[in-house]
Structure 1
Amino acid sequence: MRRVLLTASVAMLVTACSPAPAPAPTPPAAKPAPVTTPAAEAPAPVEAETAAPIVETWELPGDLNPLTTQAQLEARFGKTNLREETFNGAEGMGTYPVLVAFPDDPAKRLELMLDADNKDAPIQELRVTNAESLWHDATGLRPGMSLAELVALNGAPVSFYGLAWDYGGTVQDWHGGKLANAVGNPLFRRVTLTARTGADDNALPQGDATFRSDDPKWASAGKDMVVGELGISWPHDGED
């Protein structure tokens, strides 16, 4: 019995003198997750500005003149929009070359008269002939206007050749109106009248004679005759 107690005492003494077990290491605190700031959106790429298209005013002669070159015409209208055609002259005077801009578009078609003997010579005349044409001169004169509208724009009666021959309908006298070709004016305006589509030709003046727009005998002419052709040219040396 005494031996047992001694053994127990020794065991207790050994236990008391033994160092206490080291505490388990504390795991390191978890690092906070990094706060991510959303990247700023890159600005949308700015498209390169394109040159504004040339706005066509359709006013004649505009920047066209007798010295306008083929290269300048191609730059303005586009080479594919130019075509050479051949027209018949009046009263059997043969043919002559015409350079046509927008030949297949009635609204844009513009005919540039060239010299029959020298296509490289200056432009002789600018001409438009379609009632749908966008082209006009500085006064607003354009194909498709009625004779009554033409007289109102002129501010005076006009005299013209009768219809149905080579020079039929050509205005001969503006009677001092606003559209008269004044001496010294660098431009010459040529206007040819024609019968409105569907009009009764027999009710309109015809033949190689001159008629006035204010002649009461031709009461229907004001509405049944229209501008069929407008030509703009530059007087040659010695001409007014």
Structure 2
Amino acid sequence: MLKPTGIALMALLTLTACGKPDKPAASDEGSGVSSSSIADQGAQILSCETPVARSATAAQLLQAFAGKAREETVPGPEGTTESAVVLYPDDPARKVVVTFWDEAKTQVADVRIGRGAVQWSGAGNIRIGSALKAVEAANGKAFDLYGFDWDYGGYAADFKGGTLGMMSGDCVLSLRFAPPESHTGQLTSDIVGDTQVASSNPNMQALQPVIVEMSVGWPSPSAAVE
């Protein structure tokens, strides 16, 4: 099973001759990040450092976002569920789901926003609801995404060396697209199923799918990088 960012991580690893150390770097304070470095500072930017840094633990998040965070069971890959820390759980426009690689919740896996979380923006000012053309512009070129109508349908598969594949920091950006709500017809066979489709595909261009999920994430600390 893959987490959402796992798809993007696989693409990144194939382009990386030698990986960075998997273990998160120790903080200057020796006990992870401080509350001030992970607490909401008013900026609604999703990046490698905000609103959650890789070194954050569940306990630190619950303290830093006191009254604005709680632990919940959330949907996971392929019909599974997983335990997460949810920031702003009662505010759909700001809701953020933080998942972890370990049961102790000390190793952040990904930081995810979904439908309705319109107050967040990512690299290139993309956000929930951004259309394909806007994402191509932010990336600086066309990219590949998976066909629709399966477990990993609509996920960006390869940014083709574009800007969105080179985040400032050590995280990887993951995007998921879906047909716009205005679309009522049937999807053409060349843009559905377990296959990579170029964003420049004429039928994909005509559809102009929109971002419905955006996340940043990191590989498992136990993952071996050849």
> Which of 50, 59, 65 pairs up with 2:53?
65
Whether the 8 Å contact between 1:82 and 1:103 is mirrored in structure 2 is: yes
The equivalent residue for 1:176 is 161
Matches within 5 A, 1:212-223: 212-222=198-208
Structure 1 unmatched runs, 5+: 1-53
Whether the 8 Å contact between 2:62 and 2:70 is mirrored in structure 1 is: no
Task: Give the length in aligned residue pairs.
Answer: 181
SS at match of 1:152: helix
The equivalent residue for 1:9 is none
SS at match of 2:173: strand
Q: Which amino acid aligns with 1:196?
A: P
RMSD: 2.5
Structure 2 unmatched runs, 5+: 1-39
Provide, for residues 68-127 of structure 1, a one-character-per-residue CA deviation record: whole Å limited to 9, x for no partner.
13443234322x2212222333335x3211211111211110000123x51333121100
The equivalent residue for 2:152 is 167
The equivalent residue for 1:158 is 143
Q: Which amino acid aligns with 1:86?
A: T
Provide, for residues 27-52 of structure 1, a one-character-per-residue CA deviation record: whole Å limited to 9, x for no partner.
xxxxxxxxxxxxxxxxxxxxxxxxxx
Whether the 8 Å contact between 2:144 and 2:196 is mirrored in structure 1 is: yes
Higher RCO (CA 8 Å, separation ≥ 6 residues): 2
SS at match of 2:134: helix
Q: Residues 185 and 69 from structure 1, CA distance in 2 versus in 1: closer, same or farther, beyond 3 angstroms?
A: closer
Q: Residues 201 and 150 from structure 1, CA distance in 2 versus in 1: closer, same or farther, beyond 3 angstroms?
A: farther
Q: CA deviation at 1:185?
A: 5.3
Q: Residues 138 and 151 from structure 1, CA distance in 2 versus in 1: closer, same or farther, beyond 3 angstroms?
A: closer
Kindly name which structure, 1 or 2, has the bigger radius of gyration based on alpha carbons: 1
TM-score, normalisation: structure 2: 0.70
Q: CA deviation at 1:180?
A: 1.5
Q: Distance in 2 between matches of 1:190 and 1:161?
A: 12
Whether the 8 Å contact between 1:193 and 1:229 is mirrored in structure 2 is: yes
Q: What fraction of aligned residue pairs are identical, expressed as a percent?
A: 27
The equivalent residue for 2:64 is 76
Q: CA deviation at 1:55?
A: 4.1
Q: Distance in 1 between matches of 2:45 and 2:72?
A: 23
